Amino acid sequence: MKLVVKLPKGKKPFIGIIFSRSYDAEKSNLDLMTNHWDKVFRIEFIFEGQSANVKLICDDELIVRTYAHAGFDADKLRSWFYLTKDCKDFNFSQLYIQDGQEKVAKDFSSQKWFVLKVSGYKIISNEEKPRSIGIKGTWKEW
């Protein structure tokens, strides 16, 4: 599992989780796609060394889903956090790789894409940033 963030031109900032298999991306958290696609979520990034636990939370419905131990590109993520620090509107998706391209998971019975609305994010950690990327301080200082 890998955390991916993007800034697509003309669209909302994007947060995604890439699964290693299409089956897992399309079957995990299927109820979110089918029953809660119209709800607004928030995200907590909890950093533990070189991986992150990503919590997807809907306060209205008391829904919490955790994507545990997701890898990430630290430089890209740091830049994305900096560029989106004041944003209040994001898209979140579950993805998989097919023929070398990222594909958004889809529920074939309802024909809905796995895309959820996110109102914001919070960074949680007191760990030192990895020295390998040449940054000092804690993640929450970003």
Phi, psi for 28 (deg, rounded to 5): -70, 135
In this prediction, residue 132 has a pLDDT band, given cuts at 50, 70 and 90, of very low
Query: What's the pLDDT score for residue 19?
Result: 95
| pLDDT of res. 49 | 80
Q: Is-above-0.75 flag for pTM?
A: yes
What is the distance of C-alpha 32 from the center of its chain? 14
Separation CA 58–CA 37 (nearest Å): 11
User: What are the pLDDT digits (tens) for 68-116?
Assistant: 999 999 999 999 999 999 999 999 999 999 998 999 999 878 788 999 9
Residue 138 has pLDDT above 60, yes or no: no
Q: Check residues 86 and 134 and name the one with the higher pLDDT.
A: 86
Distance CA 80, CA 7 (A): 8
Instruction: Enter the tokens of residue 72.
Output: 């990430």
- Boundaries of every domain in the chain: 2-141
Per-residue pLDDT reduced to its tens digit, 2-41: 999 999 999 999 999 999 999 999 999 989 988 898 999 9
**Bigger pLDDT: 109 vs 52:** 52
* Cα 72 to Cα 33: distance, rounded to the nearest angstrom: 24
CB 67 within 8 A of CB 94: no
pLDDT digits (tens, 9 = 90+) for 61-73: 899 999 999 999 9
Would you state the pLDDT for residue 33?
A: 87
Instruction: Write out the H or E segment, with its range, that includes residue 76.
Output: helix 74-84
67: nearest Cα among 103, 28, 121, 105: 28
